[in-house]
């Protein structure tokens, strides 16, 4: 569902050296699979996900979403993607129903479909009581549910989630994590980034350890422990980034 | 946006309430103050020959004589408003037919005192007249004898002009300010606000193009800005209309007469102005990362946009060739001028066209900035924009935005440098304009953004057959355009000034420029330089986003506008469309250069009398200028023109058929 081949992104800024945020990253995610990207701040997680979500143009390399080449037809690719970032808030002056209508129109859905879908999502996520209140009056948990509804409104086969639980309390994170798990059950391909180790351990089928723009290892949690002779992700991560990148690149799951 | 209270207040509440309240308070305070001073009696004290003065002034209304021991002291302490002093000997002097001195002491810093002095002056003037008349009569003279001049001042300005002048000073500043106020909040909210909320990347992840997003945002800002402007205009005019009647008597008459045409022109001028201000404000605001930062960025911008209209409100600043291209100032001047007198067609055209160009440039700038992911998604401090050539991606043709930028740049250079150098010396001016101001920047920028020059400018030779058909069409077109020119002249006569300027170009004997030099200056140079800009950069850029026909027509219109004269707009636009069509069908800019040269050269040869003998006699007797071509000639020209177009289309269709069968051959051909 998601295939990336040697993706790189270099940022040019005036009066400073170019920054290689992502270097030659290749990965793939299948339907019904959750890939977690784990890495410290500034590792390149956000840049990588933004490239997959077509928001940034790669400096080199290519990627395909549902077999659609992203660089050539970004708009077609976007229609297949649901993108959520942890620091995304909503339009405060709209109600959730209006917000969903607005985004539905942007996704090219007709009014009836949007209305039906809104009802369905409202029932699924329990948004009935605040569907017609302005978004700036909603609690964090309610806001998260509206955000999720916005992401899956057009029923995308691919979900790209950039630190979706960033800064949330336990209850709100729980909503998101349940949603991710549930989406896997419905055969979505999910890639998400986080720097919470436990979250990744609990959810992910495979984990990519990313540091300084490179993927140092990508494997199931169990295999990662075995390779690094550790019993938790934190130690595994530290062991990996201390290791030679060459061994990581030769890892079995880097496609 | 309409749910936002700040937008609504700026758009509706402020204009609806501001002017009536301002005007009401201002005028009422003025009237009350005025009346209070008018009605209050002036207290005065007398000094010297009190008896005589009292007999003169006692009966004067609103003068009260106060007893005073020390009149000057009383004046300084404000116990009396003025003091009249006359020598004790005054009575005797008057009897003897001599002059008696009278002094009025008052405090010029006190309005009541000035008022008192005026009243005394008026009363004494009357007394003076009385004495004068008696003495003249006693001397047996005619009173007219001592009054050789009878001088009066009268305000000859019609009431409408006074009203217009007042409005003309206030309106531009307020309009520009209010367009800015209207644009401010939405511009900031839809750019920096989206960044702050983190909704920008959500928006970018929807299947819409960045151009659609920027267009949507821009239209919102533009509409709110324009609506705010209109609300202000309506409220301001209504207030003036209703309230100015009240001031009428007090201030000596002022009325507002706005003809519907003037009103429409003002409305029409608001559109490009709102366009310009909105796009510029958005371009500035998008660099900010937060609402607060955007406010800091945009606030200085307010000063910049309100300064020009404030300056042109000064008396003596008029709409002239020097001021008609200045951004914002020109619209302000247009408003100001329209309030008191009509404005000439070419000046109006210059204002609208230049404002349109500024609007276009600022929109292109906004669209370009929005497509820079480094700006839109940046969380860095400062302005995250790098323009190094090495970081740019090579492109086969310029983007439409960049093509429009080049056009706008050329027009700006034409406005400022072009008109200046041509005013100093026509011929070197034209050469500088064409080669330095048009060709050089266009070629440089195309190179800088790494456009494939050969492909963008269609720098290949046309096929001989295509060129032949093009020349046939051109020959017919030259005749057709002569006839259209005659009709055009009959409907809209060219002003004498412009006609003289055009003719002066071709007076070989007087200018000392030979016909070959003229052909180079007026025919070849524009043929090369203008073609590179219009049929090269502009056409190839526009064709990326629209069908060829639309691009050809838009390029033609922009080419027509480029000549900066409303009187030549139609003819140059039509020729521009034809040039675009031929270049498109020939897939070669060389055709454009050749055809452009032919059209201009025909004009040069005809005007300088270098035509074949049989034609010359015919042209020179002025028959064509008055009556146009003989109709069989015109009909023949139209027929040849139509046949040429048909042939060109047929060739193009045939080639398209061939190329769809074997794409490789057509590519080598192209």
Give yes or no for A125 touching B (CB within 8 A): no
* Residue that has been written with the tokens 């190839």 in this structure: B540
Q: Do B206 and A14 touch (CB under 8 A)?
A: no
Taking all residues of chain B, what is their mean pLDDT, rounded to a whole number? 83
Q: Which helix (H) or strand (E) holds A189?
A: strand A189-194
Q: Which helix (H) or strand (E) holds B102?
A: strand B102-106
Tell me the nearest-neighbour CA distance from B189 into chain A, angstroms: 11
pLDDT tens digit sequence for B423-437: 888 888 899 999 999
CB distance B41 to B260 below 8 Å: no
Region A121-139 average pLDDT:
89
CA distance B387 to A184: 44
Q: Do B205 and A81 touch (CB under 8 A)?
A: yes
What are the structural domain ranges in chain B?
33-143, 160-375, 399-669
**C-alpha count within 13 angstroms, C-beta hemisphere, residue B355:** 26
Of the listed ranges A84-88, A126-130, A211-215, the least confidently predicted one is A84-88
- Look at residues B212, B207, B202 and name the one whose alpha carbon lies nearest to residue A78: B207
Quick one: pLDDT at residue B380? 57
Looking at chain B, which residue has its C-alpha nearest residue A95?
Answer: B3
Q: pTM for the whole thing?
A: 0.72
Of the listed ranges B223-237, B353-367, B599-613, the least confidently predicted one is B599-613
Of the listed ranges B31-40, B247-256, B515-524, the least confidently predicted one is B247-256
Looking at chain B, which residue has its C-alpha nearest residue A12?
Answer: B386
pLDDT tens digit sequence for B135-166: 888 888 887 888 888 888 777 776 666 677 77
Fold (topology level) of B33-143: abc type-2 transporter like fold (3.40.1710)
pLDDT tens digit sequence for A157-201: 999 998 888 877 888 788 888 888 888 988 899 998 987 888 888
Q: Do A85 and B202 touch (CB under 8 A)?
A: yes
CA distance B249 to B333: 29
Tell me the nearest-neighbour CA distance from A223 into chain B, angstroms: 34
CB nearest B205 (choices: A11, A14, A55): A55
**B307: Cβ contacts below 8 Å, ≥ 6 apart:** none
CB nearest A55 (choices: B4, B204, B383): B204
Quick one: pLDDT at residue A126? 84
Give yes or no for A150 touching B (CB within 8 A): yes
Quick one: pLDDT at residue B667? 40
A to B CB pairs, distance under 8 Å: 68
Q: Is the pLDDT at B617 greater than 70, yes or no?
A: no
Quick one: pLDDT at residue B386? 65
Pairing of strands B63-65, B42-48: parallel
CA B482 to chain centre: 32
CA distance B485 to B491: 10
Q: Do A13 and B4 touch (CB under 8 A)?
A: no
Looking at chain B, which residue has its C-alpha nearest residue A86?
Answer: B198
Q: Is the pLDDT at B531 greater than 90, yes or no?
A: yes
Q: Is the pLDDT at B442 greater than 70, yes or no?
A: yes
Tell me the nearest-neighbour CA distance from A54 into chain B, angstroms: 7
* Residue that has been written with the tokens 């080598």 in this structure: B668
pLDDT tens digit sequence for B41-57: 889 999 888 888 888 88
pLDDT tens digit sequence for B288-318: 888 888 888 888 888 888 888 888 877 778 8
Higher pLDDT, A198 or B552: B552
Of the listed ranges B42-46, B231-235, B412-416, B619-623, the least confidently predicted one is B619-623
* Backbone dihedral region for residue B596 (phi beyond 0: left; psi -120 to 50: alpha; all else: beta): alpha
Question: What interhelical angle do B210-251 and B14-39 show, nearest 10?
Answer: 20
- Look at residues B641, B648, B611 and name the one whose alpha carbon lies nearest to residue B475: B641
Q: Do A150 and B202 touch (CB under 8 A)?
A: yes
Residue B29 confidence class, pLDDT cut points 50, 70, 90:
confident
Tell me the nearest-neighbour CA distance from A14 into chain B, angstroms: 5
Looking at chain A, which residue has its C-alpha nearest residue B3?
Answer: A93
| % pLDDT > 90, chain B | 24
CB distance A59 to A12 below 8 Å: no
| % pLDDT > 70, chain B | 89
Q: Do B383 and A14 touch (CB under 8 A)?
A: yes
Region A148-163 average pLDDT:
90
pLDDT tens digit sequence for B73-98: 888 888 899 999 988 888 888 888 88
Residue A81 confidence class, pLDDT cut points 50, 70, 90:
very high
CA distance A30 to A28: 7
For an interface test with B, give the residue of A9, A11, A14 to mutate (most B CBs within 10 A): A14
Region B637-644 average pLDDT:
95
Quick one: pLDDT at residue B384? 56
Residue B203 confidence class, pLDDT cut points 50, 70, 90:
confident
Taking all residues of chain A, what is their mean pLDDT, rounded to a whole number? 85
Quick one: pLDDT at residue A95? 92
CA B113 to chain centre: 47
* Residue that has been written with the tokens 């900066």 in this structure: B564
Give the A window 172-231 contacts with B, CB below 8 Å. none
Q: Torsion angle, CA of A60/A61/A62/A63, rounded to 10 degrees?
A: -110
> Which residues of chain A does B380 touch, with a Cβ-Cβ cutoff of 8 Å?
13
Residue B665 confidence class, pLDDT cut points 50, 70, 90:
very low
Quick one: pLDDT at residue B1? 55
Region B636-647 average pLDDT:
95
């Amino acid at each position: 569902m998601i295939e990336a081949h040697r993706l790189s992104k270099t940022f040019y800024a005036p009066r400073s050296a170019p920054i290689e945020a992502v270097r030659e990253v290749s990965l793939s995610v299948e339907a019904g699979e959750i890939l977690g990207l784990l890495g410290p701040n500034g590792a390149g997680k956000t840049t990588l996900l933004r490239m997959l979500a077509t928001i940034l143009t790669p400096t080199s390399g290519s990627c395909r979403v549902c077999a659609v080449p992203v660089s050539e037809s970004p708009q077609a690719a976007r229609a297949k993607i649901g993108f959520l970032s942890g620091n995304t808030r909503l339009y405060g002056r709209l109600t959730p129903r209006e917000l969903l209508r607005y985004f539905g129109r942007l996704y090219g859905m007709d009014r009836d479909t949007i209305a039906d879908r809104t009802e369905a999502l409202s029932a699924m996520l329990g948004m009935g009581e605040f569907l017609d209140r302005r978004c700036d009056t909603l609690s964090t948990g309610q806001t998260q549910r509206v955000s999720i509804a916005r992401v899956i409104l057009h029923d995308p086969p691919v979900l790209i989630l950039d630190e979706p639980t960033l800064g949330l309390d336990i209850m709100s994170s729980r909503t998101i994590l349940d949603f991710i798990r549930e989406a896997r059950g419905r055969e979505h391909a999910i890639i998400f980034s986080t720097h919470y180790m436990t979250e990744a351990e609990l959810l992910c089928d495979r984990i990519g350890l990313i540091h300084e723009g490179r993927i140092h290892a990508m494997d199931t949690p169990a295999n990662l422990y075995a390779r690094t002779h550790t019993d938790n992700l934190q130690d595994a991560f530290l062991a990996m980034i201390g290791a030679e990148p060459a061994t990581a690149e030769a890892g079995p799951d880097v496609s | 946006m309409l749910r936002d209270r700040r937008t609504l207040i700026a758009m509706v509440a402020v204009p609806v309430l501001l002017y009536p309240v301002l005007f009401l308070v201002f005028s009422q305070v003025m009237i009350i103050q005025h009346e209070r001073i008018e009605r209050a009696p002036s207290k005065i004290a007398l000094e010297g020959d009190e008896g005589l003065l009292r007999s003169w002034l006692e009966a004067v209304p609103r003068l009260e004589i106060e007893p005073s021991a020390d009149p000057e002291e009383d004046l300084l302490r404000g116990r009396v408003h003025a003091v009249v002093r006359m020598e004790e000997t005054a009575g005797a002097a008057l009897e003897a037919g001599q002059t008696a001195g009278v002094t009025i002491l008052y405090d010029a810093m006190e309005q009541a005192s000035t008022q008192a002095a005026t009243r005394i002056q008026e009363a004494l003037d009357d007394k003076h007249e009385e004495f004068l008349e008696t003495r003249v009569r006693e001397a047996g003279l005619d009173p007219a004898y001592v009054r050789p001049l009878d001088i009066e001042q009268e305000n000859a300005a019609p009431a409408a002009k006074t009203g217009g002048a007042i409005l003309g000073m206030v309106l531009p500043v307020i309009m520009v300010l209010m367009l800015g106020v209207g644009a401010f909040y939405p511009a900031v909210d839809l750019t920096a606000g989206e960044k702050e909320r983190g909704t920008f990347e959500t928006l970018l992840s929807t299947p819409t193009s960045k151009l659609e997003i920027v267009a949507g945002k821009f239209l919102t800002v533009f509409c709110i800005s324009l609506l705010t402007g209109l609300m202000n205009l309506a409220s301001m005019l209504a207030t003036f209309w209703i309230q100015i009647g009240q001031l009428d008597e007090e201030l000596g008459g002022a009325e507002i007469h706005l003809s519907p045409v003037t009103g429409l022109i003002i409305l029409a001028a608001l559109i490009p102005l709102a366009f310009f201000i909105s796009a510029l404000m958005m371009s500035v605001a998008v660099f900010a990362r937060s609402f607060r930062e955007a406010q800091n960025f945009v606030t200085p911008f307010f000063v910049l946009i309100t300064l020009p209209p404030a300056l042109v409100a000064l008396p003596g600043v008029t709409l002239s060739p020097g001021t008609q291209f200045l951004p914002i100032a020109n619209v302000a001047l247009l408003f100001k001028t329209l309030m008191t007198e009509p404005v000439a067609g070419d000046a109006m055209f210059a204002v609208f066209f230049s404002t349109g160009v500024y609007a276009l440039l600022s929109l292109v700038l906004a669209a370009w900035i929005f497509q820079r992911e480094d700006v839109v998604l940046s969380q860095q401090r400062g302005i995250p924009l790098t323009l190094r050539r090495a970081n740019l991606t090579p492109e086969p043709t310029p983007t439409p935005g960049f093509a429009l930028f080049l056009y706008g740049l050329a027009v700006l250079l034409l406005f400022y440098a072009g008109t200046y150098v041509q005013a100093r010396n026509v011929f070197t001016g034209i050469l500088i304009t064409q080669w330095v101001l048009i060709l050089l920047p266009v070629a440089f920028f195309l190179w800088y953004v790494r456009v494939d020059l050969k492909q963008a400018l269609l720098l290949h030779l046309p096929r001989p057959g295509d060129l032949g058909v093009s020349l046939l069409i051109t020959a017919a077109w030259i005749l057709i355009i002569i006839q259209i020119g005659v009709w055009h002249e009959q409907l809209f006569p060219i002003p004498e000034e412009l006609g003289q300027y055009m003719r002066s170009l071709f007076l070989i004997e007087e200018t000392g420029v030979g016909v070959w030099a003229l052909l180079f200056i007026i025919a070849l140079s524009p043929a090369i330089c203008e073609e590179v800009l219009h049929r090269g950069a502009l056409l190839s850029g526009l064709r990326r986003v629209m069908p060829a026909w639309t691009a050809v027509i838009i390029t033609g219109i922009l080419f027509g506008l480029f000549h900066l004269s409303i009187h030549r707009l139609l003819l140059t636009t039509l020729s521009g469309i034809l040039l675009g069509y031929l270049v498109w069908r020939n897939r070669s800019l060389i055709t454009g250069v050749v055809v452009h040269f032919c059209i201009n050269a025909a004009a040069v040869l005809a005007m300088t009398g270098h035509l074949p003998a049989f034609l010359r006699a015919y042209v020179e007797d002025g028959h064509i200028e008055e009556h146009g071509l003989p109709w069989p000639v015109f009909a023949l020209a139209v027929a040849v023109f139509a046949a040429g177009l048909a042939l060109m289309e047929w060739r193009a269709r045939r080639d398209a058929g061939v190329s769809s069968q074997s794409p490789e051959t057509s590519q080598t051909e192209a």
